[in-house]
Structure 1
Amino acid sequence: MVELLKARALDGVPHGFLGRIGGVSTGLYAGLNVGLGSDDDRDAILRNRDIARNAVLPGSMLVTVRQVHSPDVVTVTAPVGEDERPAADALVTDRLGLLLGILTADCVPVLFADISAGVVGAAHAGWKGAINGVTDRTLEAMEALGADRANIACAIGPCIGRASYEVREDFALRFEDADPDNERFFLAGREGHRMFDIEAYVAHRLAAAGVQRVEALGEDTCSQPERFFSYRRSCLRGEEGYGRQISLIGLSG
């Protein structure tokens, strides 16, 4: 059995944030590892992707991208093979039967839906994508399909929490140079470091862009090894690799 987290903000739309519980991977990647870029057994990864898809929208076609920490968005109108994934960090669609997937292992997954317009989106907001506007561009791409920003609801899934996300001072200054008000997303840490609340930063970007309903699940991937994969945790432990979890949203007839 997989663990499927849902958001009240997206009621009525097939969606879910999955962690590592369930799946067929073993060893370092034990659980529901869906990361094609990991060193896990490919057959296990593909089986896990099928399991995740069937937990949210059985019979749909899963579409993901080759994530590169960019603000780039693709509009999906047809299925895309695993080996043909475009380089991007967000997807939008208005087509029934397509299931949009974003992979994360500490970065911020964001799911979007305008139920009345029948348009959905999914974004991978690592810190580079977040500061460069991947969520803003996702909203714009949804509007190009007929969505109304005032009707778009967003949910932020499991990601690294502030208590786990230590960054250097120069990292924080990059955000403050972009907007002095960003200082509020950083708390003092040990000397020369601060603690970054990336979940709150992404929520702020969405609200500032005009999204009126934003729900954050508040789940820290790094501090919950039994439930989530985490890049930061794997580095701290000196592990040779790490799995990825998936966040999904689609439209059903």
Structure 2
Amino acid sequence: MLPNRSRRALADGGTAPIRAAALEGVAHGFFGRQGGVSTGEVAGLQVGFGAGDDPEFVAENRRRVIAAVLPGAGLAMPFQVHSPDVAVVSAPAEGDDRPRVDALVSATPGLLVGVVTADCAPVLLADRQAGVVAAAHAGWRGAKEGVLANTVAEMERLGADRSRIAAAIGPTIAQPSYEVDAGFRDAFLADDPATDCFFASGKPGHFQFDLPGFVAAQLAAASVGKVENPGLDTYADPARFYSFRRATQRGEATYGRQGAFIGLG
């Protein structure tokens, strides 16, 4: 049973999503940790089943997300594996049989597609005219290997035009918070020396990586018509967002996951 304070919060209206101007007119939202019922180290709107959270709390948090974005909608979420793989969905999927991919594309009204993140970049995309939407989980590995280009290609197969696609990058670890070693940087430069622009000098042998900047560049390279990057840093704002890196550095036993969702009404 939900604690009394959680039932009161639900009655008071729950949570409010972060909206992107680029996706105006499409049901969508990025969420942080405010407005949920989870407790302890993952207190708040924790929407991932991999955090060791009470499944009832996770389910309630997901119900609140649906109510805030597209009331009455079904929900499809992938089993994320840090891959470049994408699936097209037309029905709800939340259980063990959900696709093992890192982006979902849909043209089905009444269905929300979503991803969870805890520093990686959540990306929501839409071609309003074609009625095609997508949600992508773009960590450094998936983004480097092409998950965003693959997402745009799948959207095109459902009738989208990449020049009409609008994309928004949600709360993500920002460059000042994302220290990496020289080997990490070298792997990027081996693929494309031009990616050097996403690395700022840090302490000796280390660099600061601009993940949202790299993601935005990948979207631009895929000829997406509009890209919005609000610059919300998950690591630097513990009251508002979950962060894998922050939780790890603090020695916490687990970390929460925030969500990003989009659908067609």
Identity over aligned residues, as a percent? 53
1:86-97, aligned counterparts within 5 Å? 86-97=99-110
TM-score by length of 2: 0.94
Q: Does residue 86 of structure 2 align to residue 58 of structure 1?
A: no
**Helix, strand or coil: the match of 1:49?**
helix
Gapped regions of structure 2 (runs ≥ 5): 1-13
**Helix, strand or coil: the match of 1:210?**
coil
Q: Does residue 92 of structure 2 align to residue 79 of structure 1?
A: yes
Gapped regions of structure 1 (runs ≥ 5): none
How many Å apart are 1:78 and its aligned residue? 1.5
Q: Does residue 48 of structure 2 align to residue 35 of structure 1?
A: yes
Q: Distance in 1 between matches of 2:96 and 2:187?
A: 35
Match of 1:131 among 123, 144, 153: 144
Aligned counterpart, 1:165: 178
Task: Tell whether the 8 Å contact from 2:16 to 2:68 is kept in structure 1 after alignment.
Answer: no
Aligned counterpart, 1:119: 132
Aligned counterpart, 2:263: 250
How many Å apart are 1:209 and its aligned residue? 1.1
Match of 1:2 among 10, 15, 40: 15
Q: Which moved more, 1:82-91 or 1:179-188?
A: 82-91
Q: Distance in 1 between matches of 2:55 and 2:174?
A: 30
Equivalent AA in structure 2 for residue 61 of structure 1: G
**Helix, strand or coil: the match of 2:236?**
coil
How many Å apart are 1:3 and its aligned residue? 3.6
Equivalent AA in structure 1 for residue 29 of structure 2: G
Q: Distance in 2 between matches of 1:12 and 1:4?
A: 14
How many Å apart are 1:73 and its aligned residue? 0.4
Aligned residues: 252
1:103-252, aligned counterparts within 5 Å? 103-252=116-265
Match of 1:49 among 42, 57, 62: 62
How many Å apart are 1:51 and its aligned residue? 0.7
Task: Tell whether the 8 Å contact from 2:78 to 2:94 is kept in structure 1 after alignment.
Answer: no
Task: Tell whether the 8 Å contact from 2:114 to 2:259 is kept in structure 1 after alignment.
Answer: yes
How many Å apart are 1:226 and its aligned residue? 0.4
Aligned counterpart, 2:11: none
Aligned counterpart, 2:81: 68
How many Å apart are 1:84 and its aligned residue? 2.0
How many Å apart are 1:122 and its aligned residue? 0.7
Task: Tell whether the 8 Å contact from 1:68 to 1:88 is kept in structure 2 after alignment.
Answer: yes
Q: Does residue 37 of structure 2 align to residue 24 of structure 1?
A: yes
Q: Distance in 1 between matches of 2:191 and 2:16?
A: 37
